[in-house]
Structure 1
Amino acid sequence: MEITVKLYGRLRNYRPDDAPGAPHHPFSLAVADDAVVATVAAQLGIDMGFVAGTAVNGESAQFDTPLQEGDQVSLFPPTAGGDGADMHIFIAGIMQATRIDDQIESQNYRVQITEALQKQLPQVKITDPWALNPGSVNYDEERARHTFITNTIRAGDADLLIAYLPQPSMGTAMEMWEAFKGGAYIIAITPYKHHWSVRFTAQEIWPDLESFLGLLENGRFTQETLPKIRAWRNRVDGASPDD
């Protein structure tokens, strides 16, 4: 039977010389009728130790996932690009939250998340509205309006949006909606897992910051979450050649 294969990062070095198109384009591959995902890697000469994640038709898959005629198989290296240079992450989260004064909640969580991400992905692009506008509580009306609207729109350009919501936040909900419309993978860090605005936009929900930072520190983010993000984007983008 015939399938298509899409390779990411350093795995593109194993692309057949006679495969048409650019290195990031999917290519056709004939495999046995009983082939599984691991068969594809073996047929291309890729050691399974070099493959951190796989997807079939945009859905995360295992090495022993059976294949069918016409499937598209995606293979990801350990960090699907090495240093994260191809990943844009937007950090959303509480600022004013439920306050009724003109002050904001502690923004230290942004520093913690940023440092943990950069440790795993040193070249990742991070958009943090607070880091871009640390004195925003003192902005005049016009500058504050422009900053709020601009940063909300920016969320729609991300590959991944991380939303920290220990309390409800109207601004974060708007950023999540923009990211959702833009096809981003959304991770919510919140105890409000039953709220519809979280349930129906986020792909992952973590109960607290400590557990999410643990995901980053133990390496599971690069080994498990990044392939999921790329599989999600690949599905949303319709296997665009610009992936």
Structure 2
Amino acid sequence: MTADAAPQGAHGPRAYFLAGTMQGARTGADLTDQSYRQLLTETLRGRRPGAVIHDPGVVMAEWLAAHPADVRASHAALAGRRVIRRAELAPELTELTELFHRLTRLAAESDVCVAWLPGHEPSMGTAAEMLSAHRAGRTVVAITDMRQNLAVLSCSTVILPDLDAFADWLDAGGDVT
């Protein structure tokens, strides 16, 4: 399929949700390298110029920009708490958890959820986004080596090994459910 023949979703250009490891197994504000988001975006733009791309990394950065110190301080304080009750979270953490839920809903509303899971590091957020998209009947493309991970296997429409395989999948039409 050529870039000129970009697939359409039910209501216009196909929407892609970029799921992927942010925090992974790290604590606090220690994030994984997020450069994969640009690589996925460039790959999609090159092959699906009219596509709508939902990047949680961009959404999170925009949201955090409004009050980064409060969020980071409240989030860091969680490490010292033995018991955490959702009803007792600081307002900015309640907003952060609501943002997480909005993002999982956006994954379910997008036509394709592209999950970047390099190596063998699990990502609970990515798993939630994949499950949400899977339950909504969307196409879930996992780019990962985790072929035997039950969550990946259960929620993926297709599992690909790397970015080149993803580009090939798109070039072949990017079959969707």
TM-score by length of 2: 0.73
Higher RCO structure, 1 or 2 (CA under 8 Å, sep 6+): 2
2:160: which partner in 1? 206
| CA distances 1:147-187 after superposition (whole Å, capped 9, x unpaired) | 11111111110111100112200000000000001111111
1:89-168 equivalence runs, <5 A: 89-134=16-61, 136=64, 138=68, 139=71, 140-166=92-118, 167-168=121-122
- Give the paired residue count: 145
Higher radius of gyration, 1 or 2:
1
- Superposition deviation, residue 78 in structure 1: 4.9
Greater percentage in helix: 2
Does residue 171 of structure 1 match 2:119?
Answer: no
- Superposition deviation, residue 132 in structure 1: 1.5
Q: Provide structure 2 residue ranges, at least 5 long, that are not aligned to the other structure.
A: 72-91
Please tell me the root mean square deviation across aligned C-alpha atoms, in Å: 2.1
1:32: which partner in 2? none
Contact 2:6–2:50 at 8 Å: present in 1 too? no
Percent identical pairs in the alignment equals: 28
1:1-243 equivalence runs, <5 A: 78-80=5-7, 86-134=13-61, 136=64, 138=68, 139=71, 140-166=92-118, 167-209=121-163, 211-212=164-165, 215-216=166-167, 220-226=168-174, 228-229=175-176, 232=177
Distance in 2 (CA, whole Å) between partners of 1:186 and 1:87 is: 13
Q: CA, structure 1 residues 111+181, in 2 after alignment: closer, same or farther (shift >3 Å)?
A: same
Contact 1:78–1:222 at 8 Å: present in 2 too? no
Distance in 1 (CA, whole Å) between partners of 2:154 and 2:32 is: 26
Q: CA, structure 1 residues 146+124, in 2 after alignment: closer, same or farther (shift >3 Å)?
A: same
TM-score by length of 1: 0.55
Contact 2:7–2:48 at 8 Å: present in 1 too? no
Secondary structure, counterpart of 1:143 in structure 2: helix
